[in-house]
């Protein structure tokens, strides 16, 4: 049976765990506690970002957890205010300093900066240079569409290993995932259990909550699992790496206790059928525009 410590291979050969913990909207104290709880529960992938303001606490938790930090895959992201070639190199150094690490496993451009796409390209060139120098395990992007990724590849020749995007049963992005597969880019799911539909503005009323959808609840009941476990398992069976966030140790453990679950093709198709095409988060193209 697989576990949270098993890996999927990125397009440059680097092994990345199948599931991780996200720490967006975690206070510094919550970050330390949840990263420690996650490592104790078997997680070996932590997803943070400069914009989350908690890289320092991720580093502290890694060093105090009792788990060998070298065996933990750490992802962080460059914020748009640091786009540009030199700015991106400085941004990477600053992240390493805050984390107290010499090298990241995966470093992502957090968003496209559509109003100044040339700065997005320059930042991507800097990340490609870091990778060429062996200073980072793999590089990728977040919240980019297929045309933006093609533009980056066209300008630099560097294909992202990962695109981290909003991805859950109500917004499952089949066309983008198909493009990722063709290009050998791994789909990484943010808000994998639909968190953004609960915490963002008036989404809960407008878009609903995948954890409460009757089709998902009934699949969960049939397997004696929770709705969150069913959704996370659906991601894994789709070849997607989910990074659920929780500050609750019970839910942190619950979210990786899904390797004994197998969804049937019919159950997978039923969840695939819940896509509304409506994103819960803001349109990435509008951020910083």
Ligand X SMILES: NC(=O)c1ccc[n+]([C@@H]2O[C@H](COP(=O)([O-])OP(=O)(O)OC[C@H]3O[C@@H](n4cnc5c(N)ncnc54)[C@H](OP(=O)(O)O)[C@@H]3O)[C@@H](O)[C@H]2O)c1
Residues interacting with ligand X, by CB under 6 A?
Answer: 22-24, 47, 110, 142-143, 164, 190-196, 198-199, 211, 226, 228, 243-248, 251, 254-255
Minimum distance, C-beta of residue 182 to ligand X, in the bound complex (Å)? 22
Cβ-based nearer residue to ligand X, 132 or 289: 289
The answer to whether 46 touches 73, Cβ cutoff 8 Å, is yes
Q: CA of 289: how far to CAs of 33, 160, 222, 231, in Å?
A: 35, 23, 46, 33
For the chain, strand residue ranges (E) read: 7-9, 15-17, 21-22, 45-47, 73-78, 104-109, 136-142, 162-166, 186-190, 241-242
User: Catalytic residue at 43?
Assistant: no
Minimum distance, C-beta of residue 96 to ligand X, in the bound complex (Å)? 18
How far is Cα 201 from Cα 197, in angstroms, rounded to an integer?
9
Q: Residue 78 phi/psi, 5° resolution? A: -85, 130
Minimum distance, C-beta of residue 36 to ligand X, in the bound complex (Å)? 15
Q: CA of 171: how far to CAs of 150, 199, 203, 276, 283, in Å?
A: 22, 16, 13, 6, 13
43, 52, 83, 92: the active-site residue: 52
Cα 192 from chain centre: 8
3-state secondary structure of 108: strand
Minimum distance, C-beta of residue 188 to ligand X, in the bound complex (Å)? 8
How far is Cα 289 from Cα 112, in angstroms, rounded to an integer?
10
Cβ-based nearer residue to ligand X, 60 or 255: 255
Cβ-based nearer residue to ligand X, 137 or 195: 195
Q: Dig out the tokens for 214 from the structure.
A: 């009757």
Minimum distance, C-beta of residue 210 to ligand X, in the bound complex (Å)? 9
The answer to whether 174 touches 134, Cβ cutoff 8 Å, is no
Cβ-based nearer residue to ligand X, 86 or 260: 260
Cβ-based nearer residue to ligand X, 120 or 255: 255
Other beta carbons within 10 Å of 251 = 16
The answer to whether 227 touches 220, Cβ cutoff 8 Å, is yes
Minimum distance, C-beta of residue 87 to ligand X, in the bound complex (Å)? 19
Cβ-based nearer residue to ligand X, 24 or 117: 24
Residue positions annotated with a catalytic role: 52
């Amino acid at each position: 049976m697989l576990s949270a410590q098993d890996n999927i291979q990125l397009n440059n050969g680097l092994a990345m765990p199948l599931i991780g913990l996200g720490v967006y909207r975690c206070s510094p104290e919550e970050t330390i506690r949840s990263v420690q709880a996650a490592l104790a529960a078997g997680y070996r992938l932590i997803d943070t970002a400069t914009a989350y303001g908690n890289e320092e606490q991720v580093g502290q938790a890694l060093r105090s957890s009792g788990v060998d930090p070298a065996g933990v895959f750490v992802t962080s992201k460059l914020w748009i205010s640091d786009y540009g070639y030199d700015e991106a190199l400085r941004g990477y150094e600053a992240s390493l300093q805050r984390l107290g690490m010499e090298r990241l496993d995966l470093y992502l451009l957090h968003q496209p900066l559509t109003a100044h796409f040339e700065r997005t390209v320059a930042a991507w060139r800097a990340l490609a240079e870091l990778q060429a120098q062996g200073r980072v395990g793999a590089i990728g992007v977040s919240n980019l569409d297929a045309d933006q990724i093609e533009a980056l590849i066209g300008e630099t020749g560097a294909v992202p290993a990962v695109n981290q995007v909003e991805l859950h049963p109500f917004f499952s992005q089949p066309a983008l995932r198909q493009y990722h597969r063709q290009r050998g880019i791994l789909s990484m799911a943010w808000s994998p259990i639909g968190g953004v539909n609960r915490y963002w503005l008036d989404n809960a009323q407008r878009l609903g909550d995948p954890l409460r959808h009757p089709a998902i609840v009934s699949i969960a009941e049939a397997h004696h699992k929770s709705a969150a476990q069913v959704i996370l398992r659906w991601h894994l069976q789709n070849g997607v790496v989910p990074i659920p966030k929780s500050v609750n140790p019970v839910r942190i453990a619950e979210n990786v206790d899904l390797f004994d679950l197998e969804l049937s093709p019919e159950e997978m198709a039923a969840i695939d059928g819940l896509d509304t095409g409506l994103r819960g988060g803001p349109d990435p193209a509008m951020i910083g525009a």
